[in-house]
Amino acid sequence: MPDDQNNDERSGYLQRNIVRHQGDSATPDQDWVAEEFPVALVYNGISHAVMMATPRDLEEFAIGFTLTEGIVDSAADIYDLEVLMHADSAEIQLSIAQPALLKLKDQRRTLAGRTGCGVCGIESIELLDLKPAPISPARRVQPTAAVIERAARELMPHQTLMHKTGGVHAAAWCSADGAVLKVFEDVGRHNGLDKLIGHLARQRVALDDGFVFLSSRASYELVRKTARMNIPMLATISAPTTLAISIAREAGMTLVSFCRRNGFVEYTAN
């Protein structure tokens, strides 16, 4: 099989020639590798951001990014969307409501988004949006051992791209009792979350009756994106940061991390 051959251009993985080393032996082989390439987001003809992402579910990604970055207040403000795929990149052209476009121009920034980074290119500290509005209506999904155990147990079978490549994050939408309902994957954890949010918005899923479960740490931008969508709880497999905890508390959102089948840590309990 040729080095670059792939059965599906949008599958998110490519095959690469490798050499496996074990002890003194070296064996030529092939391996599946998660695909990462630039995705440009263009609003009403204005290029706004270039993110490094996995080239699948790009419509969901564009909608989610537009919502979680506060570019529009609701999915209804996105009038049209077109994904233009190229050999080694993609461009997503969106048409948004005029008030949203004016706000975007006022707050315009250039994001050179690298994998795992959500604020690259911010021009000043003042542009960081670290003050979330309280989640409305004020409510919490109660994290219990049974809920977290179920989510942790059910997530793994949905991580098809992770099983294939070993190199991506997953973002899952779970019901209040921990059932995993939908999963998106990407090389960037924030991209995976945006894809999930975009899907939920397209399906008009009620976001106050479930929670997000991420196969990553809880960094500030993930909490900020989740809080902006009025989602009452974020659960992560790895550790949170101090800023992530602070933002979750200010928003009135439940944050739990180190989620395993045998327990979890709650960081926002009163």
Q: Give 6's pLDDT tier (boundaries 50, 70, 90).
A: very low
Domain that holds residue 68: 37-127
Catalytic residue list contains 259: no
CB under 8 Å to 79, separation ≥6 — which residues?
Answer: 95, 96, 97
- pLDDT top residue among 185 and 103: 185
For residues 252 and 206, state if they share a domain. Answer: yes
Tell me what pLDDT residue 33 has: 92
Concatenating the DSSP letter of every residue in 80-130 gives: EEEEEE-SS-EEEEEEE-HHHHHHHHHT---EEE-TT-S-TT---GGG---
Domain boundary among the residues 94, 127, 160 is at: 127
The amino acid occupying position 1 is: M
Tell me what pLDDT residue 28 has: 94
User: Over 60: is that where the pLDDT of 2 sits?
Assistant: no
Domain count, the chain: 2
The verdict on residue 2 lying in a domain is: no
For residues 157 and 216, state if they share a domain. Answer: yes
The verdict on residue 175 lying in a domain is: yes
The verdict on residue 213 lying in a domain is: yes
For residues 188 and 254, state if they share a domain. Answer: yes
- Structure-derived torsion over alpha carbons of residues 235, 218, 155, 251, reported in degrees to the nearest 10: 30
Question: Mean pLDDT over residues 242-248, rounded?
Answer: 95
CATH code of the domain covering residue 158: 3.40.140.10
Whole-number Å distance between alpha carbons of 41 and 51: 8
For residues 135 and 225, the answer to whether their CB atoms sit within 8 Å is no
- What pLDDT, in 10s, does the model give residues 110-123? 444 444 444 444 45
Place of tokens 């951001």: 49
The verdict on residue 58 lying in a domain is: yes
The verdict on residue 17 lying in a domain is: no
- pLDDT top residue among 263 and 208: 263
For residues 155 and 238, state if they share a domain. Answer: yes
The amino acid occupying position 266 is: E
Concatenating the DSSP letter of every residue in 214-244 gives: ESS-B-HHHHHHHHHTT-SEEEESSPBPHHH
Q: Give 1's pLDDT tier (boundaries 50, 70, 90).
A: very low
Degrees, nearest 5: CA angle 55-220-245? 140
For residues 242 and 149, state if they share a domain. Answer: yes
Mean pLDDT estimate for the chain = 87
Whole-number Å distance between alpha carbons of 169 and 116: 10
- What pLDDT, in 10s, does the model give residues 172-228? 999 999 999 999 999 999 999 999 999 999 999 999 889 999 999 999 999 999 999
Degrees, nearest 5: CA angle 138-139-141? 155
Catalytic hit among 117, 120, 174, 259: 117
How many other CB atoms are found less than 10 A from the CB of residue 122?
14
Domain boundary among the residues 127, 157, 185 is at: 127
Percentage of the residues of the chain whose pLDDT score is greater than 70: 86
For residues 149 and 246, state if they share a domain. Answer: yes
For residues 173 and 83, state if they share a domain. Answer: no
For residues 165 and 221, state if they share a domain. Answer: yes
- What pLDDT, in 10s, does the model give residues 150-175? 999 999 999 999 999 998 999 999 99
Domain boundary among the residues 127, 153, 185 is at: 127
Question: Mean pLDDT over residues 78-100, rounded?
Answer: 95
The amino acid occupying position 221 is: E
For residues 186 and 260, state if they share a domain. Answer: yes
Q: Give 233's pLDDT tier (boundaries 50, 70, 90).
A: very high
Tell me what pLDDT residue 127 has: 55
For residues 71 and 156, state if they share a domain. Answer: no
| Distance in Å from the first CA to the final CA of the chain | 57
The amino acid occupying position 56 is: R
Tell me what pLDDT residue 140 has: 66
Whole-number Å distance between alpha carbons of 250 and 260: 26
